[in-house]
Chain A
Amino acid sequence: MAFLDLAHLDKSYGANHVVKDFNLAIEKGEFVSLLGPSGCGKTTVLRMVGGFEVPSAGTIHIDGQDVTSLKSNQRNIGMVFQAYALFPNLTVAQNVAFGLKVAGVSKAETAERVTEMLSLIGLADLGNRYPFQLSGGQQQRVALARALAVRPKVLLLDEPLSALDAKIRASLRREIRSIQQRLGITTIFVTHDQEEALSMSDRVVVMSGGRADQIGTPHQVYNRPATRFVASFVGTLNTFDATVTDPATGTVRLGDSTVVLNRPVEAASGAAITLALRPESATLGAGNPGDVTLMGRITEVQFLGAIIRITADLGGHDLTLDTFNRAATPPPHIGEEVTISLPPDGLVALVA
């Protein structure tokens, strides 16, 4: 059994079925994100792990122990909330020491651990401040230190960065990940921000409607989305209607051309499917042999710095493609007729 094991979790509020047959096995030291749109049940799953909600069905094991019926104060978990939730009547140092005091750790060891934690989050000098005297980013770092001070078995974070502005969000993101790796703590991170999930995690769980649509590494989830939902929720996507001609070799018809994906497609011969393609997979001009080539007319050029995002009209069907900026090659002009190549590797068949 994995270090943290969620098996067949179900949760209903009255008639509202919020989490459905949720399964997830997390290894020790792994960083797993729950990613999904608002209301898909991310927080509910996290709160069940934390012991704040009782599952309607299913079990939760932490380190081999069945904790499903344990109260949250018996589970030895660390929790970080979107709203920081620092105790306003306690100083920073007292906040960090809170869990240690509850656990009956000696004064000397508590002081030592608090110092260690505060320097870990880079706020060694602010131990005597009250929470209202800190910025949002500082408060959230204290909340992290407070959660980590008791050396929990699992760290749970519910959108800890959502209340912060973009710049601090990006730096704190890296800081959380680096602390997590240094301590080797098993972590579940809830977010609706795909960039956060993809950049921080060992694995990402993409959720919709209370289910886990796909569980995989960021690379897998991004490049081989398992469902139409995952494909559309993570990243930008072009879709094409296609017809399966040979499921075993993954041969499909796309417009006038035949494409061999070299991966089996789970659909019957003759079935209509959707082919998806990331903007960065398509290239301008003739590509490699085996690529699908389409003709189009440029309708929009967005210069984004490192990347140029181009929209082309393929005869009533828009396609978005990204190319790297090259100093020697100026971007194409609007109205230009161009050839666009789609490599079979970049095409994903979406059946579900």
Chain B
Amino acid sequence: MTRIAAYGTILLGCLYFIMPMIGMAEFSLSMRRGVYSLDAYRVVLADPQFQATFTYSLVMALFTIIFGVLLVVPTAYWVQLKMPKLRPVVEFVTLLPLVIPAIVVVFGYIRLYNTSGWLPMTGSVMGTNILLMFGYATLALPYMYRAVDTGLRTIDVATLTEAAQSLGAGWLRIMATLILPNVLGAVLSGAFLTLAIVIGEFTMAALLDRPAFGPYMQILGANKAYEPAALAVIAFAITWACMGLIQMVSRLSKHKRA
């Protein structure tokens, strides 16, 4: 009896999540009256706006990932090596973006870095892009830090560092040939999460008025019927592909037990 109840609950939960998706997918295929077709997808993919915004977001994601890795890996390494007592503090800081709404962050940016501020970053397109990238990096920080920190915990950072030092290695070499390769799986999974976040992000891009994918989806959604559904399905597909890639890279590394 309890078994049936448990399965029932799970089934109900699945339906709750899956039904809207099926509905949406079904709707995205019904642009042509009476038959299923990929017309909505054709329209969306052919739209130059789609291509432009998607490319923009992809490039932003790439830079956000590079910046995030360069920021997070050395920080997490240093905290684990030299100041393990500070770890809870750093962990708390990296979790802050989860409780501070993006809109608050971006308003703070705009107040601080506007054209009459001390560092007028919003005055130029490049400056605004950089600001947006910082914003994205902040949003991705909790995921990136967790992933890397967990990865670092699977190796004996302190002893490996000392072994490398005794063999004459300096910090740069230790980071590049020892630490990074050993947390590569973690870094990549952090990277794909970042990609998924950046592709779907709306608030920051819209308020900084950058031509990103998120605002484009919103505009499309306000003006069209079938295309937004197709776009949403595409966005889902990208996110799931990222998840799949995370799973794959974590299985690929040669030096780990299968």
Instruction: Kindly state the separation between the CA atoms of A156 and B255 in the bound complex, as whole angstroms.
Output: 27
B96: chain A residues at CB < 8 Å are none
Asked if B173 is an interface residue, CB under 8 A from chain A, the answer is yes
Nearest-CB distance from B106 to chain A (Å)? 39
- Whether A87 contacts B162 by the Cβ 8 Å rule is no
> CB-CB contacts of B152-179 with A at 8 A, as 1s and 0s?
0001100110111111111001000010
- Whether B168 contacts A85 by the Cβ 8 Å rule is no
Within 8 Å by CB of A99, from B155, B160, B167, lies B167
Instruction: Kindly state the separation between the CA atoms of A180 and B182 in the bound complex, as whole angstroms.
Output: 32
Closest chain B residue to A104, Cβ basis: B168
- Whether A130 contacts B166 by the Cβ 8 Å rule is no
Closest chain B residue to A82, Cβ basis: B159
Interface residue total, chain B, C-beta cutoff 8 A? 22
Closest chain A residue to B181, Cβ basis: A89
Asked if A73 is an interface residue, CB under 8 A from chain B, the answer is yes
- Whether B159 contacts A52 by the Cβ 8 Å rule is no
Instruction: Kindly state the separation between the CA atoms of A43 and B173 in the bound complex, as whole angstroms.
Output: 26
Instruction: Kindly state the separation between the CA atoms of A38 and B168 in the bound complex, as whole angstroms.
Output: 30
A89: chain B residues at CB < 8 Å are 178, 181-182, 253, 255
B162: chain A residues at CB < 8 Å are 50, 52, 72, 79, 81, 85
User: Which residues of B (102-160) have their CB < 8 Å from a CB of A?
Assistant: 155-156, 159-160
- Whether A72 contacts B166 by the Cβ 8 Å rule is yes
Closest chain A residue to B160, Cβ basis: A85
Most buried by B among A76, A86, A88, A99: A88
Asked if B3 is an interface residue, CB under 8 A from chain A, the answer is no
Closest chain A residue to B155, Cβ basis: A88
Most buried by A among B155, B169, B256: B169
Closest chain A residue to B258, Cβ basis: A132
Nearest-CB distance from A20 to chain B (Å)? 24
Closest chain B residue to A75, Cβ basis: B166
B255: chain A residues at CB < 8 Å are 88-90, 130-132
Instruction: Kindly state the separation between the CA atoms of A102 and B174 in the bound complex, as whole angstroms.
Output: 10
Nearest-CB distance from B180 to chain A (Å)? 9
Query: Would you list the 7 A-B pairs with minimal beta carbon distance, nearest first?
Result: A99-B167, A79-B166, A85-B163, A89-B181, A102-B168, A85-B159, A72-B165
- Listed by A's residue number, 17 A-B pairs whose Cβ atoms lie within 8 Å are A50-B166, A52-B162, A73-B167, A73-B168, A73-B170, A74-B168, A79-B166, A81-B159, A83-B159, A86-B163, A87-B178, A89-B178, A89-B255, A90-B255, A132-B256, A146-B163, A146-B167
